[in-house]
Chain A
Amino acid sequence: MGVPVFRIRFVIGLFVQIGLLGLVIAPALGQELNDDRVEVNITARAGLRYDVVRFTAKMGQAVQVKLINGDDMAHNLVFTKPGQRLVVATAALALGADGEAKNWVPDHDAVLWSTPVLPPGERHVVQFTAPLERGIYPYVCTFPGHGFVMYGVMYVGVSMPELAKDQNIPELARQGKKAQKQFHAWGHKRPLIYRIFMPDASPAAIAVGLEHGQNYCWDAGQCRLRYAWYGGFVDPWPVWKGNGNGLARVLGTRYWEAKSALPLQIGEVESVASFKGYRKVNGHPEFHYEVNGVDVYELIEPLHTGLGIRRSFRIPNNTGLVRLAVDSADGVVATYSAGKLKEGILELRDKQAREFTVTHQLAN
C-alpha cells in the first residue's frame, strides 16, 4: 500500500524542482532539464500513441529527444514546421513503394528533424537546437496511417494550455486517457466493420475503419455513403456499455459528407434502394444493394497515396441512366473514371456504368 505515498512524493518532488529552477513554463512528465538542455524520452506505446504528447523548449535551446519503441509494431518520430503535421503525414503516405527505404520520411520542406523507423524494442536519439521562431511544432509518426492519431507537440516560447483544452494533442490524451479501451479479444486491426448506432445516419448504420486512418459511415437503411473522416475510428462505448442507448463517437476529422439524401439512381424516376448485405474483399466490405431491381455493388477502399477513399461501383446488368451525387466539400477533390459530371451529379449510361470508380481525396 506504499504506492500512493510514493506517487504523492514524486509529484511534490517535481514541483519543488520546477520551483528551484524558476521556470514559468511547466515541463511535461518525461522532460528533464540538464545544463539548460531539454531532454525528453518519448516511448511509442500500443494503441498508436506516444506516452509524452507535449513538452516545452525555449527558443534556441538545445533539445535531445530519445524515441523508445515500446510497441509491437514499427514507429518513427518526425518534427514538422507548425501546422504541417497532416501535410507531412500525407506526403509520407504518397511515398508508396519508396517509403520503407526513406524511413517513411518524405522530402518535404516542412520536415525538420526525424528518427529512422524503429523496430519494436529499439531506441534512437535526435539532438537539435529549438527554433528561434516561437511556435507549436508537431512531432508525428509518419509510418502509413499512424500520423492521424500518433502525434504530439513541442511548444517553443509559447506557454502550454491546460491539458484538457489543448487542441494540438490527440483527443484521447486531451481526455487524460492513455489509449482507447480494447474492446475485443484481438488487438488493433483494420479494416474493421461495426454495425452500430452512428450520429447523422439512420439506425442501420455501418462504421468502417480502413487502413491509413481512413474511415467512413455507410448507411444500410438508405444504401448510401454518409460521411468519411480521418483519424481514429469510433468510440463504441456509449452504445456497448449498456443496452444500446447511445451513439458511437467519431474519433477524428470529418472531411466529406453526402449532401444529397438520395442513393445512387437508376432510370429516370426516383429510385428506391434495398440493402442486400456485403461481402468482404481483402477485409473491405463490398456493399450489395438493389436499385429499382438492379444489383449494385460498391467497394470502398482507402487511397494509398493520399488522404481519401476510392469507391468502386459495379452494376453488371445496367442498361439505364445511372446518376450518383458526387458531393463536393471544401478541400476535397472528387475524381471519376467514367461519365459526365453535371452540377455535382455524375451521369453514366448503359455499359459505362457497369464498372466505374469515384474517389474523394483531400487536397494537400
Chain B
Amino acid sequence: MLFAGLVAAVSIRAGGIGDYYSLQNIATPKGLDPQVGGLDFLPDGRLVACFHRGEVYTYDSGKGEWKLFADGLQEPLGIVAINDREVVVMQRPELTRITDTDGNGEADQYKTVCDDFGMTGNYHEFAFGPARDARGNLYVGLNLASSGASIRPELRGEFRHYGLSREGFKAKSYGRASGRMYTATPYRGWVLMITPEGEMTPFAPGFRSPNGLGFDLDGQLFVTDNQGDWLGTSKLFHVQRGKFYGHPASLAWTNEWKKGRNPLKVASTEFDGKRTRGAVLFPHGLMANSPTQPIPDSSGGKFGPFAGQLFVGEMNRPRIMRVMLDKVAGEWQGACVPFYDAAGLGTGNHRFVFGADGNLWVGQTHLSWVGGQGVQRIKWNGKTPMEVESMKLLGNGFKLTFTKPLAKGACHHDHFQFTRYYYEYRQGYGSPQLGKEAVQITDLKLLRGARTLMIYLDKLTPGYVYQLDLNNIVATDGSPLVNALVCYTLNRLTNGDDKAPHLVQK
C-alpha cells in the first residue's frame, strides 16, 4: 500500500515563506508522465487530476492511492468535478463530460459537451479551462496558432485567414504573412461560454495564450495571458462579455471585422482604443514570464491571512503569486506580489485547487517549455507571515495594509522605493519597460494600530506600473517582511481618469 510515507517533506530556507508554510511532494504512479493539466476535488474528498498523456486519475490522500478514472484524452488542460462519478475536461478537440455510469470506478462514457470551434492541427492551439460560474456555465480559452508551425492539410471548421490562402500556408515563408500568433479557424483567441447543455457563445476576443481562467469568490471571471506579440508583458484580465482584450488576430471572427482585412496592417492605435487593459500586469523577467491559473483563496482563513485574494501560478520560476485587487472608479485593477518562492516549490506551477482542509494543491507541467512536473501540497502552519496584505490607490498615493503591525521606525522614506514604467502596446514581441523613472515619496503616514501605511507620491499617472520595493521592513514581533516586491497596475485614477500619455483612449 502507498501510504503517507511516500510524501516527503522538503527542507526549507529559513526567513522565507517556508517559515510559515510546509510543502509536500505527492508521489505519482510509476510510469505516469506527471505533467498536470488540471486539478479538482470530488465532493467525496478525493483529488482528481488529468495528465499530459490523456489520463485522469483520482487520488485518495488518506491512503496515498491513485486510481485510474479515464484515459485517452488529447492534452487535457483543465478539469472540473461535477460529482463523485463525473468530471468535465477541456481537451484539445472538445469539452468532454466523462462519467462512470456503472459505478465501477472507471469512466465508461465520454460525452462531447462542445466542439463548436476550429482546429488547424497547429501545436499551439491549446484549449484551457473550464472555469465554472455559479450557474454552471463553463468558460474555456482557445489559444491562437503559432507561426512556429503551419496548419495541417485537414482542418476542423471554416478556414479564414487575413493574409494567406490555404496554399499560402504550404509555402516555407508562411510565417511572415501569418502573423506570429494567428487564427485560421473559428474562435481561436477567444474565451467561450458554454452552458451545461452544450450551447456555446463566443464570449470575448483578444487573447493570445489564455492559460488560466478562474472566478473569484464574487463570481468575476479572471483570465491570464502570456507576454508576446501584442502583449508587452503578461497580464491578468477581468473578462466581461463582448470586450476585446488586445490581441487582434481573434477579431477576424467578429461580425464587425471586414472579411480579409489584415490586422497586421492596421495601426496599433486603432486596437489600442478598443481594448480593455489588463487589470494586473506581471512585469516580465521580474514577476512572471508565463502566468497560469488564477485561483481565489477559498479556505476561509485556513490557508493564512489572504482569504478571498487570488493566487496565480508562474511557469518559469518556483513561484506562486498573489494578486491584491482594487476596485477603482468601478473597474478592477491592482497589484501583484510573489507569494510562495522556492522553499521546495517546483517550477511549472500550472494548476491549483484548495482542499476542504485549506491546503493548496499544485500541479506542474512543462510541455517542453520551461516548467516542471508533479503534484505538491502546501499547508499553512498557523503562523502569520509579515506581508503586504492589501494595496489600495488613493487620490495622491497608496494605502498599504500589512498583515502585522510595523515595527517602530518603519514609517520612513528609506524603506520604500517607487519606480514606474509602462509597456508599449504593439505588434512586436513583448516590450521593454519604457518611461522608467523613480517616483518621489512626498509624505508617509502610519495609521493607528501600525498596520496601515499611507504613502503619498509626487506623480500618479494612468497607464503605468508602479513598482514598490520595500527594504528592511520588520513587524513588531520581529519577523521580517517575506515578499518585498509589489507591482501595482495603475489603469485609472480614483477620479476615473484613465488618460495615459502613451496610450490611445477609447
Contacts and interface: CB of A to CB of B under 8 A. Distances in A.
Q: Chain B interface: which size bin?
A: 35 or more
B68 interface: yes
Nearest to A193: B72
B120 A203 contact: yes
Contacts of A242: 367-368
Contact of B32 (A185, A201, A240): A185
Interface string B26-69: 00011111000000000000000000111100000000001010
A203 B155 contact: yes
Contacts of B97: 277
A204 B156 contact: yes
B419 interface: no
Contact of B31 (A182, A193, A196, A202): A182
A259 interface: no
Contacts of A240: 33, 52-53
A244 B92 contact: yes
Given A241-B368, A279-B108, A202 B33 contact: no
Contacts of B107: 280
B123 A244 contact: yes
Contacts of B154: 200-203, 221
Interface in B90-121: 91-94, 96-97, 101, 107-112, 115, 119-121
A194 B97 CA distance: 17
Contacts of B329: none
A228 interface: no
B111 A192 contact: no
A315 B74 CA distance: 28
Specify which of B73, B96, B97, B154 lies most central, judged by the most chain A CB atoms within 10 Å of its CB: B154
A275 B112 CA distance: 7
A246 B30 CA distance: 26
Given A204-B156, A243-B367, A194 B108 contact: no
Given A243-B124, A243-B369, A275-B112, A203 B71 contact: no
Contacts of A195: 54, 72-74, 91-93
A185 B92 contact: no
A184 B75 contact: no
A79 B156 CA distance: 47
A285 B72 CA distance: 11
A203 B123 contact: no
Contacts of B112: 220, 275-277
A245 interface: yes
A255 interface: no
B369 to A, nearest CB: 7
Nearest to B57: A185
A305 to B, nearest CB: 27
A279 B110 contact: yes
A278 interface: yes
A155 interface: no
B149 interface: yes
A235 B249 CA distance: 34
A280 to B, nearest CB: 5
Given A193-B72, A195-B72, A203-B93, A221 B119 contact: yes
Contacts of A245: 123, 148-149
Contacts of A297: none
A197 B125 CA distance: 12
Contact of B71 (A193, A204, A246): A193
B119 A202 contact: yes
A202 B155 contact: yes
A244 B53 contact: no
Given A195-B72, A195-B74, A244-B123, A204 B367 contact: no
Given A192-B72, A195-B73, A242-B367, A184 B93 contact: no
Nearest to A221: B156
Interface of A: 182-186, 192-197, 200-204, 206, 220-221, 236, 240-246, 274-280, 285
20 contacts: A184-B53, A185-B30, A193-B72, A197-B121, A202-B121, A202-B155, A202-B156, A204-B115, A204-B119, A204-B156, A220-B93, A220-B94, A220-B115, A240-B52, A245-B123, A245-B149, A275-B112, A277-B109, A277-B112, A279-B109
The 6 closest A-B pairs by CB, nearest first: A242-B368, A245-B123, A195-B74, A193-B72, A203-B121, A185-B29
Given A203-B152, A280-B110, 11 more contacts: A183-B53, A185-B30, A194-B54, A195-B74, A195-B91, A201-B154, A204-B119, A221-B156, A244-B92, A277-B97, A285-B110
